[in-house]
Chain A
Amino acid sequence: MHFGPHLLLAALEGLVTSAVLALTALGLSLVFGVMRIVNVAHGEFFMLGAVLAWAISTAISGHPAVGFVAALVIAPLLVGLVAFLAEWLVLRRLNYNPEGTIVATIGMLYIIQQLALTFYGPEARPVEPPLNYRILLPWFGYSGYKLSVIAASAVLLVITWLVLTRTKIGLIMRATQYDRETAQAFGIPVERVYAGVFAIGAMLAAIAAVLIVPISQAHYLMGQDPLLLSFIVVIIGGLGSLRGTVVAAILIGLSDGIVSVFFSPTLAKIIATLVVAMVLVFRPQGLFGTAAR
């Protein structure tokens, strides 16, 4: 293959990564923005979504699409429930103290990972894609499913943006983010908002995982990379900024896709991580964010 088509292929692969990454990182960013806590277990909610998707789609017989759609609806709801319980039982009692929540979410990370290993096992298992046609480009055929992942992610991002900016729920969330105490004084049930945001954040990660699982298989350790990449995206995009998160996800996903086609993936990760650490050191508000209040 020549350089041009090769680059196009790398870019398409990168866009699929970006699409999934944007959803996952958006969940992390939402939780950080509204609740001011860092959720280290975010990657495990992603993994849980993928593992549940496998369980649901194998339990339902018939056309693969039926099982997949069921997984796309049920898995995020279950993950949201788990996150809601975790928030209610643990984080609320810690009063959202930043260091305490980090330690507690590290604990959740281990618990979820170990339970997945015990009940799901160490194997990587595939989920059948709901649609199976290839789009023929002049140079190579490309999976139609991958393109629909990009589309689905874009739609979900727009919906989230509309909810945040155009609805009452979004207004309440933004008010809580802006000033927790004033919001409470105006009668906003801050605790319920927090529980909801934590659940929605986890659900976004789970949706992303269900979308990616027909492409890359479900595995109990699959939460590690998305966690680190989401951190990277959220930091580059500016903590708590939705637009920055999406732009950064596209940037990171594309460069990750392109760099790892042409160079060693380990080297790509080293460079990306180092660059982001330096961004955080020298420009803590992120590349697109505004200075912290």
Chain B
Amino acid sequence: MKDASPAKIYALHIGVIALLFALNFVLPDYHQGLFARIMALAVFAMGYNLLFGYVGLLSLGHAMFFSAGLYGAGLAVYQLGWGVPEAFVAGVACGALLALVIGLLALRTSGVAFMIVTMMFAQVFYLLILYFAAWTGGDQGLVIQQPSRIIAIGGASLDLTNPTVRYMSALALFSVVLLITLVLVRSRFGRVLVAIRENEERTKMLGYDTVANKLVAVVASGAICAASGAAYALLFGYIGSSFASVQYSILPLLWVLLGGAATILGPLIGTLFMYYVTDITSGFTSAYLLIVGVALILLVLFFPKGVLGSVRQRWLGWLP
């Protein structure tokens, strides 16, 4: 890997954030809403990427962390009448706690067994949501009404149903997570994670506690995905069991593979691209799953490194 000055790297990422900020004033209403959704979901993809891209652990159960945040925040507002900031923190805490428990169990396995175990825990989580339908709304879901989605700060109030507030809140979350992951993967800890991906035995032999490092990565990944879920519930006002289904475990995998695993901006590019592809094609066909399927197969066959992975390999060796 060629080395680049940190200034160049931070400039690139802050530039991307600035671009997204500027887009708010340029985009038409419909696309402004779509972008807010994409940024919230890109956070989900970034959380997934932390584990899949950097540690090399392929989980098929991340929908449970996303929906832990979704339900943790959504139910706190809906059933307990909490305010928005407390609910968001509750959502992230739920996700982190769940990730800690799942990590302690699932990290005893590796490879194919890890995928199946995570998928099964996610399935249990999904069925639990259906089982406690009286509380969670089951597959009908719950709608969080506008009055409970207003943040009161001092005298002023922020209405999360207002498009600009929504866009800026999504952007704020996206920027914070982007910078956190950037700092994380460039730190010593991030280098250890990559070392585990490349050769776990050797990393262990060099004196690193690989299990503890992997556990921290699982919890961080779970917390980031939960933050995305909590934001999604509060910004768009709907929580439902479909967000916990297997499909939502597979979507972040698709987004990350498309954008480029183990790249910082890859998840955003993957989410953006897939969202627009399904949005455009859904105009003339309802067969959007077909596109997802074909995309997955073509990606693993021809672009296993994704968009930014290929860019990094060809031109920009310094891309984090």
Contacts and interface: CB of A to CB of B under 8 A. Distances in A.
Contacts of B268: none
Contact of B117 (A38, A113, A228, A277): A277
Contacts of A278: 105
A110 B117 contact: no
Given A103-B257, A273-B124, A281-B106, A108 B293 contact: yes
B80 interface: no
A94 interface: yes
Contact of B289 (A99, A110, A224): A110
Interface in A54-106: 90, 93-94, 98-100, 102-104, 106
B253 interface: yes
A104 B297 CA distance: 5
A273 B120 CA distance: 6
A269 B294 CA distance: 31
A228 B246 CA distance: 11
Contact size class for A? 35 or more
Contact of B128 (A108, A270, A281): A270
Instruction: Provide the main secondary structure of the chain A interface.
Output: helix
B141 interface: no
Contact of A114 (B120, B287, B297, B299): B287
Interface residues of B, number: 37
B58 A99 contact: yes
Contact of B287 (A106, A118, A231): A118
Interface string B116-153: 11001101100110110000000000000000000000
A270 B297 CA distance: 31
A284 B113 CA distance: 8
A77 to B, nearest CB: 24
A98 to B, nearest CB: 6
A264 B134 CA distance: 15
Given A270-B131, A284-B109, 16 more contacts: A90-B301, A94-B300, A94-B301, A100-B300, A100-B304, A103-B299, A104-B300, A106-B250, A106-B296, A110-B293, A266-B127, A269-B127, A276-B120, A277-B124, A280-B109, A280-B113
The 6 closest A-B pairs by CB, nearest first: A110-B293, A107-B296, A111-B293, A107-B297, A114-B290, A277-B120
